[in-house]
Amino acid sequence: MRTIPSGLDRKEAELYSQLDPHQFPKHVAIIMDGNGRWAKRRHLPRIAGHRRGVDSVRKVVTTASNIGLSALTLYAFSAENFTRRPPTEIHFLMKLLHRYLKNELPLMHRNNIRLSFIGRSHMLPQEVQERMAWAKEQTAHHTGMVMTLALNYGSRSEIVDACKSMVNAAANNGGLEHLKIDEESLNRHMYTSNLPDLDLIIRTSGEMRLSNFLLWQAAYAEIYVTKTLWPDFNGVHLLEAIKEYQSRERRYGGLNEPSPGSSN
């Protein structure tokens, strides 16, 4: 009989029993969309959706850790959010993030989760940067799932930063004639160079776009879109996405053809 991880509720355990634990994605990323619409449907201010969205983060992170995912990356705050949202909303989101990093630390410790960040964090408020550095240091010794928050993140900016990093590395190592440009070299300079290849992207709220999120990493990732708004998303929805992922055949650009001599 298959062992069900402790910590799963009844519905999660039922779904987990239908999955192949040897075919789990190593790296799952989530575009957490729909906080504003969730609040609007309930005639609440947008900040109520963001506040409720933190509860969903807690549920999903806990389930992801319980089932043994290696890496979970959450699109928390895009570079576009930073420039196009009202200042009052940005201020609230920064306060919410500052509070989250402190309040959720016990959960990180209980679940052996290591916290990481990607994005141009140097543009965030100083007190938020300090809290991020503190939270990262507090969890640096953990050996379980790597939870990465994408903050002030944009994939095009990441690729630009990776190219600049390659040029700077070459300039500091004998000159630009030593610059080597290929996929492997570029990948080493991406924000996510310490993470497994991306296997699955989940987008909530039904939108059919990547919104400048992990464009390089998503080259062969499976994409799963649900109409569920992020504040309603939980561990069961995560397992449903993994179930759909396991039903797909990943070809990486190849053909799904039987091998010579196959009876299929």
Looking at the annotation, which residues are catalytic? 33, 81
Q: What is the 3-state secondary structure (H, E, C) of the chain?
A: CCCCCCCCCHHHHHHHCCCCHHHCCCEEEEECCCHHHHHHHCCCCHHHHHHHHHHHHHHHHHHHHHCCCCEEEEEEEEHHHHHHCCHHHHHHHHHHHHHHHHHCHHHHHHCCCEEEEECCHHHCCHHHHHHHHHHHHHHCCCCCCEEEEEEEECHHHHHHHHHHHHHHHHHCCCCHHHCCCCHHHHHHCCCCCCCCCCCEEEECCCCCCCCCCCCCHHHHCEEEECCCCHHHCCHHHHHHHHHHHHHCCCCCCCCCCCCCCCCC
Compute the C-alpha angle 83/105/63, nearest 5°. Answer: 90
